[in-house]
């Protein structure tokens, strides 16, 4: 089961009662909130470091999106916005995105309950120093009404190559809303799937408890993974699918140019082959880390901000050749 689940994320949205929502927040008040969150975090056993968005270059901001540490909306403005990151980058706290606080915990594999336990622990620490906006009937108050209630979004990052190849994933996505869930691309809302990677998350936050939302997501994910595994058994008996997987590895070992879209497609095929023991090469964990490393901004952050798209494609191919050699 774990081979189909890349990671788990819990995100909590919170707002401070004494301040207007971020859309009507002045720059001075926004910076004040950033400081107050930092003070509250001093009581946490986990150590955080603060990154002010207006103090880092564009490439690093985009690279943080690629690593799922912040959202695309978060970097659209810089003044009065900061993120607090744990030393191991498993916890990130965006301050003054759509809400004053977006607390996020990411864990490898299928760890919904463990991720929530950590998020809840940090949320409790913050609530002792910060006065969260809460309504007896509506729950936690958020700038967007769709987050009212628990303010929680739980999600799992899934690798579903078999369901994508068979076209079943499209019909599944259309039916998930009836179950209170939604399926999106690699970077969440409005993003497109890349390399058969999908983000499945709860859609309902009002009138439901955190436990009920997590249990629902856990159950549906388990069913979805079982369906993926059955489809894999049938597909991997097909010599044409086996050929695609082996060709993908061959191209990754030898290509001199590789754009991001092609790399994601090939890595998805190789990850499928590895997880089903049809290939002996990098582990699925290594491939997951490699997927982050070959993202455009991540390459530029490491090898130079002035790289052209062609330079990135050359470097990406070089990285892939080296890893799969």
- Residue numbers in the known binding site are 7-11, 68, 102, 153-157, 184-189
For 275, phi then psi, to 5°, come to: -65, -30
Q: Are 87 and 49 in contact (CB under 8 A)?
A: yes
Task: Report which secondary-structure segment, H or E, holds 48.
Answer: strand 48-52
> The dihedral of CA 317, 298, 193, 323: what is its sign?
positive
Alpha-carbon distance values, 281 to 249, 285, 308, 325 (Å): 9, 12, 30, 9
Binding residues for ATP: 7-11, 68, 102, 153-157, 184-189
Distance CA 252, CA 241 (A): 17
For 12, phi then psi, to 5°, come to: -115, 135
Task: Report which secondary-structure segment, H or E, holds 242.
Answer: helix 239-254
Q: At what angle do helices 260-275 and 309-324 cross, to 10 degrees?
A: 20
Which residues on neighbouring strands pair with residue 159, listed in sequence order? 197
Terminal alpha carbon distance of the chain = 28
Helix (H, G, I), strand (E, B) or coil at 207: coil
Distance CA 121, CA 123 (A): 5
């Amino acid at each position: 089961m774990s081979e189909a689940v890349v990671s788990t994320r819990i995100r909590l949205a919170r707002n401070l009662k004494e301040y207007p929502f971020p859309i009507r927040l002045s720059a001075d008040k926004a910076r004040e909130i950033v400081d107050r969150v930092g003070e509250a975090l001093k009581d946490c056993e986990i150590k955080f470091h603060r990154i002010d968005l207006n103090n880092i270059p564009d490439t690093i901001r985009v690279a943080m999106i690629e690593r799922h540490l912040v959202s695309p909306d978060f970097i659209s403005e810089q003044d009065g916005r900061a993120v607090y990151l744990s030393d191991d980058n498993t916890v990130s706290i965006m301050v003054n995105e759509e809400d004053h606080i977006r607390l996020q915990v990411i864990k490898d594999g299928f760890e919904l309950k463990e991720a929530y336990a950590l998020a809840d622990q940090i949320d409790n620490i913050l609530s002792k120093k910060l006065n969260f906006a809460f309504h007896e009937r509506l729950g936690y108050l958020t700038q967007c009404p769709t987050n009212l209630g628990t303010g929680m979004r739980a999600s799992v990052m899934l690798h579903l190559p078999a369901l994508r190849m068979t076209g079943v994933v499209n019909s599944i996505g259309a039916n998930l809303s009836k179950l209170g869930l939604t399926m999106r691309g690699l970077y969440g809302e409005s993003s497109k799937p890349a390399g058969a990677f999908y983000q499945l998350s709860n859609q309902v936050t009002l009138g439901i408890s955190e436990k009920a939302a997590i249990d629902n997501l856990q159950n549906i994910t388990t069913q979805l993974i079982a369906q993926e595994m059955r489809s894999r058994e049938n597909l991997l008996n097909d010599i044409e699918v086996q050929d695609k997987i082996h060709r993908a590895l061959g191209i990754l070992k030898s290509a001199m140019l590789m754009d991001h879209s092609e790399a994601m497609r090939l890595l998805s095929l190789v990850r499928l082959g590895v997880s089903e023991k049809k290939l002996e090469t990098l582990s699925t964990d290594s491939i997951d880390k490699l997927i982050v490393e070959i993202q455009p901004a991540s390459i530029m952050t490491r090898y130079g901000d002035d790289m052209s798209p062609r330079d990135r494609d050359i470097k990406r191919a070089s990285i892939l050749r080296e890893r799969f050699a």
